[in-house]
């Protein structure tokens, strides 16, 4: 098949003149400079435009190091970050803060990375995030959720993201105070003299120091101990005023919880021990947790000894920490060996010649209850057996003996007695088969307990015959509640722990069970099964001085 002839002659097309060069466009509408041959000088126009950009100060943002080339065209331009709000916009984003969602009681961990380093709290939703840099979790949250105000939980500084500038508005002082409440010394010293009621954000009335503690699952044993210790004035004042930033986390977190209990400007009328519980679980190797109920006395012993070490106390020297200066005392123990001799028949003899005297230190005194009667009498007086507190305190009078194994022991306290006495009423006993509870009620008066008859006389420290008066400060009570069980027994016994505390300013008693706070009558305090008591030594004036 023959080829189709070309439409145009190739020789004529080749001889045609080239098209004129395209005129470059410039900003001022003028044409680009031309060369001597009349052809526009494109390179010269580029150089002239570059010189104008250099004069304007923006060429460095567009060109490379030599001013003519872009070496990294794909890298984004890094503009300087904002260090302060624009004038007139100092309160920008502060109206988005939601104080009702803020809760600083939880452990300071990032909700994404679970890290405790450089943690910020979003003041809009209350969640915790790490960092505030361009690649941090808080930065991403600010862009994704449009939440812009964050507080550093360590330094208490507030920042706006993603602009990343600090906010110094006085309207944020209440949030900083709730996150880490610190009261001046003058206010702390007035807590037991004048205590005014406060209101939370929901309008609920509460009294600082007498607020509920959240029972996360089964940590009511810890709640009752914290309530008891928070009303021991010297210990409370120490943790509210002392700088514990260099101490271990156990002391720091306990101090923060004490300050939150006595916070007069709280957002909520209760506190949560979550942060302290996490540290206790870690330090005790999961012996005390929030998911399993424990004995308050076991926890109190462990907590006081570990708190003593956390405050820099010595294991051998007495009175080296605030814990020991408040609770530690001395007791004299006389031991006699119980032996049997051939000429005595079946009778036992107490070898008086082998009396051994020891001195031991204590933080807590154990009081033994008499055995509960097995049968009721005719008048049903022994349905609930009762015993006076002075009767079980006779264990420490140096006369009544306690027999244990092959020893017979007598106890008596030594001067000086501590400012606060901790009593443990021993109700529970366990063997290999069963755990038993003694339901005996201990009767007492909350004021005027004379301890002088239980102390070895020492005229150099205390006049002989002069009373040593103690008043009740707090009382942990036990209640056994029957709950239905799917086991063979059909029912199980659940322990409920409460704490009765004294309001010195108002001369009133409050009974606190987890989040429930109600007033109690001083005349009926003994009707509950008392388990742990703390008594305060009354300051008596003698010869113009307080003792």
Q: What is the CATH number of the domain that holds 147?
A: 3.30.40.10
Q: Does residue 481 lie within any of the structural domains?
A: yes
Each residue's pLDDT tens digit in the chain (547 positions)? 455 555 555 555 455 555 555 554 544 444 444 444 444 444 444 455 555 544 444 444 444 444 444 444 455 555 566 666 666 566 788 999 999 999 999 889 999 999 999 999 999 999 999 999 999 999 999 999 999 999 999 999 999 999 888 998 899 999 999 999 999 999 999 998 888 899 999 999 999 999 999 999 999 999 999 999 999 999 999 999 999 989 999 999 999 999 999 999 999 999 999 999 999 999 999 999 999 999 999 999 999 999 999 999 998 888 899 999 999 999 999 988 877 554 555 555 555 557 788 999 999 999 999 887 766 665 555 578 899 999 999 999 988 888 877 788 999 999 999 999 999 999 998 877 778 888 999 999 999 999 999 999 999 989 988 999 999 999 999 998 877 655 555 566 789 999 999 998 888 999 999 999 999 999 889 899 999 999 999 986 655 444 4
Closest CA to 411 of 330, 351, 301, 326: 330
Phi then psi for residue 498, to 5 deg, are -130, 165
Question: What pLDDT shows up at residue 4?
Answer: 55
Among 176, 200, 217, the domain boundary falls at: 176
What pairing do the DSSP bridges indicate for beta strands 428-430 and 435-437?
Answer: antiparallel
Question: What pLDDT shows up at residue 469?
Answer: 96
What pairing do the DSSP bridges indicate for beta strands 212-213 and 270-271?
Answer: parallel
Domain CATH code at residue 526: 3.90.70.10
Closest CA to 83 of 152, 169, 168, 166: 166
Residue 200 and residue 169 share a domain = no
Question: What pLDDT shows up at residue 69?
Answer: 42
Question: What pLDDT shows up at residue 507?
Answer: 85
Closest CA to 467 of 483, 449, 485, 482: 449
The 10 Å Cβ neighbour count of residue 208 is 20
Question: What pLDDT shows up at residue 380?
Answer: 57
Question: What pLDDT shows up at residue 403?
Answer: 82
Q: Which residue spans within 371-434 are E strands per DSSP?
A: 386-388, 402-404, 407-413, 420-426, 428-430
Letter string b/e over residues 351-383, b meaning 16 or more CB atoms within 10 A of that residue's CB:
eeeeeeeeeeebbbbebebeeeeeeeeeeeeee
Among 176, 202, 224, the domain boundary falls at: 176
Q: Does residue 21 lie within any of the structural domains?
A: no
- Helix, strand, coil abundance in the chain, percent, nearest 5: 25, 25, 50
Q: Does residue 109 lie within any of the structural domains?
A: yes
Residue 127 and residue 209 share a domain = no
What pairing do the DSSP bridges indicate for beta strands 541-542 and 545-546?
Answer: antiparallel
Element (H, E) at 531: strand 529-537
Q: Does residue 374 lie within any of the structural domains?
A: yes
Phi then psi for residue 260, to 5 deg, are -75, -35
Kindly state the tokens that stand for 209.
């120091």
What is d(CA 468, CA 90) in angstroms, rounded to the nearest whole number? Answer: 62
Residue 353 and residue 492 share a domain = yes
Kindly state the tokens that stand for 348.
């036992």
Per DSSP, the three-state class of 500 is strand
Q: Are 138 and 132 in contact (CB under 8 A)?
A: yes
Residues paired with residue 150 on neighbouring β-strands, in sequence order: 122, 159
Closest CA to 236 of 275, 189, 276, 177: 189
Residue with the two structure tokens 């006395």: 297
For residue 183, the Cα-to-chain-centroid distance in whole angstroms is: 17
Residue with the two structure tokens 């009721």: 376
Residue 346 and residue 284 share a domain = no
Q: Does residue 116 lie within any of the structural domains?
A: yes
Closest CA to 309 of 296, 320, 299, 325: 320
Question: What pLDDT shows up at residue 433?
Answer: 73
Residue 374 and residue 274 share a domain = no
Question: What pLDDT shows up at residue 12?
Answer: 52
Residue 334 and residue 272 share a domain = no
Q: Does residue 511 lie within any of the structural domains?
A: yes
Closest CA to 499 of 477, 528, 521: 477
Kindly state the tokens that stand for 106.
């939880």
Residue 331 and residue 253 share a domain = no
Question: What pLDDT shows up at residue 18?
Answer: 53
Q: Walk across the sheet containing 119-122 and list its strands.
A: 128-130, 119-122, 149-152, 158-160, 165-167
Q: Are 423 and 474 in contact (CB under 8 A)?
A: no
Q: Name the H helices within 213-360.
A: 220-229, 233-241, 249-261, 274-283, 296-310, 322-327
Count of domains in the chain?
A: 3
Residue with the two structure tokens 């007598």: 410
Per DSSP, the three-state class of 508 is strand
Residue 478 and residue 408 share a domain = yes
Q: Does residue 20 lie within any of the structural domains?
A: no
What is d(CA 437, CA 430) in angstroms, rounded to the nearest whole number? Answer: 9
Question: What pLDDT shows up at residue 61?
Answer: 43
Residue 337 and residue 253 share a domain = no
Per DSSP, the three-state class of 450 is strand
Among 151, 176, 201, the domain boundary falls at: 176
Tell me the residue range of the domain where 212 lies: 179-310
Q: Does residue 86 lie within any of the structural domains?
A: no
Residue 416 and residue 450 share a domain = yes
Residue 281 and residue 162 share a domain = no
Q: Considering only CA atoms, give the Rg of the chain.
A: 39
Element (H, E) at 412: strand 407-413
Q: If 0-12 CB within 10 Å is exposed, 13-18 middle and 19+ buried, where does residue 444 land?
A: buried
Residue with the two structure tokens 């044993």: 221
Letter string b/e over residues 140-153, b meaning 16 or more CB atoms within 10 A of that residue's CB:
bbbeeeebbbbbbb
What is d(CA 284, CA 297) in angstroms, rounded to the nearest whole number? Answer: 15
Question: What pLDDT shows up at residue 214?
Answer: 94
Residue 195 and residue 159 share a domain = no
Q: Are 410 and 465 in contact (CB under 8 A)?
A: no
CA quadruple 46, 51, 54, 55: dihedral positive or negative?
negative
């Amino acid at each position: 098949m023959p080829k189709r002839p070309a439409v145009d002659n190739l020789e004529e097309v080749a001889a045609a003149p080239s098209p004129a060069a395209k005129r470059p466009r410039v900003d001022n509408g003028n044409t680009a400079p031309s060369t001597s041959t009349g052809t526009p000088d494109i390179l010269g126009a580029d150089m002239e435009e570059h010189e104008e950009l250099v004069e304007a100060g923006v060429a460095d943002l567009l060109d490379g190091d030599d001013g003519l080339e872009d070496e990294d065209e794909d890298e984004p331009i890094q503009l300087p970050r904002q260090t302060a709000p624009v004038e007139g916009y100092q309160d920008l984003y502060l109206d988005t803060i939601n104080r009702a969602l803020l809760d600083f009681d939880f452990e300071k961990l990032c909700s994404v990375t679970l890290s405790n380093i450089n943690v910020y709290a979003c003041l809009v939703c209350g969640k915790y995030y790490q960092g505030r840099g361009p690649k941090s979790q808080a930065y991403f949250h600010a862009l994704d959720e449009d939440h812009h105000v964050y507080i550093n939980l360590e330094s208490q500084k507030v920042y706006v993201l993603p602009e990343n500038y600090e906010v110094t508005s006085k309207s944020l002082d209440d949030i900083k105070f709730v996150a880490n409440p610190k009261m001046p010394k003058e206010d702390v010293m007035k807590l037991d003299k004048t205590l005014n009621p406060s209101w939370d954000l929901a309008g609920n009335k509460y009294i600082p120091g007498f607020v509920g503690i959240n029972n996360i699952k089964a940590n009511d044993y810890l709640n009752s101990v914290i309530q008891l210790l928070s009303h021991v004035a010297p210990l409370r004042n120490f943790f509210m005023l002392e700088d514990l930033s260099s101490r271990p986390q156990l002391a720091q977190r306990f101090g923060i919880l004490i300050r939150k209990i006595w916070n007069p400007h709280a957002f909520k009328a209760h506190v949560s021990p979550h942060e302290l519980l996490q540290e206790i679980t870690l330090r005790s190797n999961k012996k005390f947790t929030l998911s399993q109920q424990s004995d308050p006395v076991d926890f109190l012993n462990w907590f006081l000894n570990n708190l003593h070490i956390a405050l820099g106390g010595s294991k051998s020297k007495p009175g080296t920490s605030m814990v020991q200066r408040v609770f530690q005392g001395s007791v004299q123990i006389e031991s006699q060996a119980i032996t049997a001799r051939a000429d005595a028949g079946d009778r036992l003899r107490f070898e008086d010649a082998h009396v051994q005297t020891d001195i031991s230190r204590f933080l807590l005194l154990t009081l033994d209850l008499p055995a509960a009667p097995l049968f009721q009498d005719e008048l049903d007086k022994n349905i609930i057996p009762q015993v006076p507190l002075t009767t079980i305190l006779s264990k420490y009078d140096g006369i009544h003996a306690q027999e244990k194994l092959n020893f017979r022991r007598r106890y008596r306290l030594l001067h000086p007695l501590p400012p606060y006495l901790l009593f443990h009423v021993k109700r529970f006993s366990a063997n290999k088969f069963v755990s038993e509870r003694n339901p005996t009620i201990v009767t007492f008066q909350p004021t005027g307990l004379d301890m002088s008859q239980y102390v070895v006389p020492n005229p150099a420290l205390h006049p002989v015959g002069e009373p040593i008066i103690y008043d009740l400060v707090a009382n942990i009570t036990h209640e056994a509640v029957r709950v239905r069980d799917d086991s063979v027994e059909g029912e199980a016994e659940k322990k409920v722990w409460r704490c009765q505390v004294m309001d010195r300013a108002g001369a009133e008693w409050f009974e606190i069970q987890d989040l429930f706070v109600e007033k109690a009558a001083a005349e009926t305090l003994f009707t509950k099964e008392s388990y742990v008591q703390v008594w305060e030594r009354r300051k008596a004036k003698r010869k113009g001085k307080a003792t």
